[in-house]
Chain A
Amino acid sequence: MTDAVDTELTRPQPEATAPTKHVPGEPGIWILIFGDMVVFTVLFAVYLNRRGHNEALFAQSQARLNQTLGATNTLVLLCSSMLIVLAALAFRSDQWRHLTPRFTVAGAAIGSCFVVVKVIEYHEKVVAGLTPSTNEFFMYYFVLTGLHLAHVVIGLIVLTVLSRLARKPAPTRTHIAFFEGGACFWHMVDLLWLIIFPLFFLVH
């Protein structure tokens, strides 16, 4: 990779979004992202299958979930994702690059609220005597949301790394690709929650 290529890529662009077709991030990140999404889809299918075998128990257990906390976390992730979108756009623009660290840190800070809300939610359940061993519904609830929570934590670590990368005054093509890849991972975390929330909290 030459400096000339890097200079070309970091030149101010007339629009915030790139007009040409390009793979966001390093191509390898998409194997991880699609792999994760497929694994979660299989888990959704297994959950719905088990639900079909014991609808009454699942409905009864679902009624004990706190929908307000679930919806709050959806909005938390959407706000965080939007800030990371702005961070990625700013990182590619000479004019707005100086805002990238602020957008990234703000995105991570709001994203970390997801963990806080989830801890409150888990605490609420455990205090009420609802644990993974209570019944099949709560086993799936804790396993699936716990697996997603692990992705949130990994995503927050990625955002922390990106916030350091965001301070580069003249990022190379590799830096931009790494930033885009990390951002896409965070958006995948958001995307998965957009399915998990209605699956566990809303669908009857």
Chain B
Amino acid sequence: MKTLVLTKASLAWLVLVALTVTQWVIGTHSGLGGPHNVSASLVIFAVAVFKARLVGLYFMELREAPIALRGLFEIYCIALLVVLYTMYLLG
């Protein structure tokens, strides 16, 4: 059972849960996530895309996919962050 449960995917899951709780605290804490707090929002976006990348690499198993497929996913993650930042700052 250990071989099934003790995997990098399980570790990724723990990180995802921890980041979700942290994100929630940052977003709800008035001092950090209050109105017009641009830097907190940028951190929240970066954490969100990092979490999405973890899901792709470890849950979808793209870490072990051929370079073309993994590369496409990595490009998507970068493009997603660029779009979110650009539209948030300039939108």
User: Which residues of chain A have a CB within 8 Å of any CB of chain B?
Assistant: 15-24, 30, 34, 37-38, 41, 44-45, 48-53, 59, 67, 71, 74-75, 78, 81-82, 84-86, 88-90, 93, 96, 99, 180, 183-184, 187-188, 190-191, 194-195, 197-199, 201-204
Contacts and interface: CB of A to CB of B under 8 A. Distances in A.
Contacts, number: 150
A195 B26 CA distance: 15
B interface secondary structure, majority: helix
A202 B26 contact: yes
B16 A78 contact: yes
Nearest to A184: B60
Interface residues of B, number: 54
A203 B41 contact: yes
A203 B35 contact: no
19 contacts: A17-B61, A21-B64, A44-B83, A45-B84, A81-B13, A82-B9, A82-B13, A84-B59, A89-B9, A183-B60, A184-B60, A190-B55, A191-B52, A194-B16, A194-B52, A202-B23, A204-B35, A204-B40, A204-B41
A31 to B, nearest CB: 11
Contacts of A198: 23, 27, 44-45, 47-48
Contacts of B35: 59, 204
B76 A34 contact: yes
B48 A195 contact: yes
Contacts of B45: 198, 203
A202 B44 contact: yes
